[in-house]
Amino acid sequence: MIFHDFGMDTASLAGPLEAKLAAIRDAGFSQVMISAADVVAHPAGTAAGIAAVRGSGLEVTGLEALRDFEGLDGAMHAYKVDVAKSMLELCAALGGRLLLVEASASRHASVDAGALGRDLAKLATLAVPLGIRVAFKGQPWSRAARDFRAAADLAMRAESPNLGVAVDAFDVLATGVPLDDLDILDPAQTFLVQLSDYMWQDARTPEEQTAAATHFRVFPAEGAHGELLAQFIARLDSLGYCGNYSFDVYNDDYLQMPPEAVAARARRSAEWLAETVLRRALPVPNLERLRAQPQ
């Protein structure tokens, strides 16, 4: 299956969970990143949301997102641990093996690397019995981990084999991180790569970056940065990354379009990536690079 390495995100689509899942499946995708809100907001309850995902025939890329977890003290820390446990249990119930954790943007959070590493290690330990890996992702508006470089540094500090990083292509596109910096990544500890493009040529101010990140993302090659994205993926590929790619696209327009129409756009994007970018990374023109997945 040519699209197997790519998955959509339920947060990219409008409509009830079942309609989102059907649109993703019917567009030819075999995996889906689940936004926790889509499951727990199911009108018939969380159990019905879980059943919809499990019955969809789609593999769960992971569950998103635990936010503002690390760096808190006392009661705030205890509260976030409870939130984390709840998300880990939801992830396991969905059959997911990965929890996406976004670097804290809380101004109450410590920026002490030792404290942050300890909290991430605790989260990773909580995830072990459930068989879940934790993918820690930098955020442009986080004080301690603005992008994958700082995220990888903190994750390494935690020294937990089931704690790695998620790399968001948006970091590279919008914040001007040099592609060479991807070389710091350990492919074995890179658990997820999220892809998106955006329309603007550049987003220089933090305000513009935040607006682009949260409202104006489009699928790869739909925006102004197709060539850069192609280089980004080729670079990860040459590093030896062989995990999943998930389309991390939030766009106000897409949320008032039929999910089928948006999923069709995602399909075109995945086709472009598979045919153009990944084939280019291959020494011979076949699809062996797309991993055979256990069925």
Partner 1 sequence: MTDATSREAIPEPQNPLGIDGIEFVEFATSRPQALGGVLERMGFRPVARHRSREVELYRQGSLNVIVNAQPADVPRTVQPVERPVISAFALRVRDAQAAFRRALELGAWEIPVRAQAMELNIPAIHGVGESLIYFVDRYDEFSIYDIDFRAIPTVDPHPPALAGLHFFGIVQYVGPDRTADWVEFYSRLFGFRKLPEETHFGIMPKGLLLESPCRTFLLQLIEPEDTARFAPMEEHLQRIGLGAPDVPAAVAALEKRGIEFFATERVRSNERGALTKPLVGSVMFELVKSEARR
Q: How far apart are CA 38 and CA 20, in angstroms?
A: 10
| Site membership for partner 1, residue 121 (CB under 8 A) | yes
| Site membership for partner 1, residue 129 (CB under 8 A) | yes
The CA angle 213-142-116, to the nearest 5 degrees, is 140
CB of residue 210 to partner 1, shortest distance in Å? 30
Which span sits near partner 1 by CB under 8 A: 126-134, 140-148, 239-247, 267-275?
126-134
Q: In this complex, which beta carbon is closest to partner 1, that of residue 35 or of residue 190?
A: 190
CB of residue 188 to partner 1, shortest distance in Å? 10
Per-residue x/- track, 207-246, partner 1 (CB under 8 A): ----------------------------------------
CB of residue 41 to partner 1, shortest distance in Å? 23
Q: In this complex, which beta carbon is closest to partner 1, that of residue 72 or of residue 266?
A: 72
Q: Kindly identify the residues of this chain, within the stretch 77-106, that bind partner 1 according to CB under 8 A.
A: 85
Task: Please identify which residue in 101, 123, 150, 249 interacts with partner 1, judged by CB under 8 A.
Answer: 123
Residues contacting partner 1: total by CB under 8 A? 18
Task: Please identify which residue in 124, 151, 154, 195 interacts with partner 1, judged by CB under 8 A.
Answer: 124
| Site membership for partner 1, residue 294 (CB under 8 A) | yes
Q: In this complex, which beta carbon is closest to partner 1, that of residue 86 or of residue 214?
A: 86
| Site membership for partner 1, residue 126 (CB under 8 A) | yes
Task: Print the SS3 string covering the chain.
Answer: CCCCCEEEEHHHCCCCHHHHHHHHHHCCCCEEEEEHHHHHCCCCCHHHHHHHHHCCCCEEEEEEEEECCCCCCHHHHHHHHHHHHHHHHHHHHCCCCEEEEECCCCCCCCCCHHHHHHHHHHHHHHHCCCCCEEEEECCCCCCCCCCHHHHHHHHHHHCCCCEEEEEEHHHHHHHCCCHHHHHHCCHHHEEEEEECEECCCCCCCHHHHHHHHHHEEECCCCCCCHHHHHHHHHHHHHHCCCCEEEECCCECCHHHCCHHHHHHHHHHHHHHHHHHHHHHCCCCCCCCCCCCCCC
| Site membership for partner 1, residue 295 (CB under 8 A) | yes
Q: Kindly identify the residues of this chain, within the stretch 154-173, that bind partner 1 according to CB under 8 A.
A: 159-162
Residues near partner 1 (CB under 8 A): 85, 113-114, 121-126, 128-129, 131, 159-162, 294-295
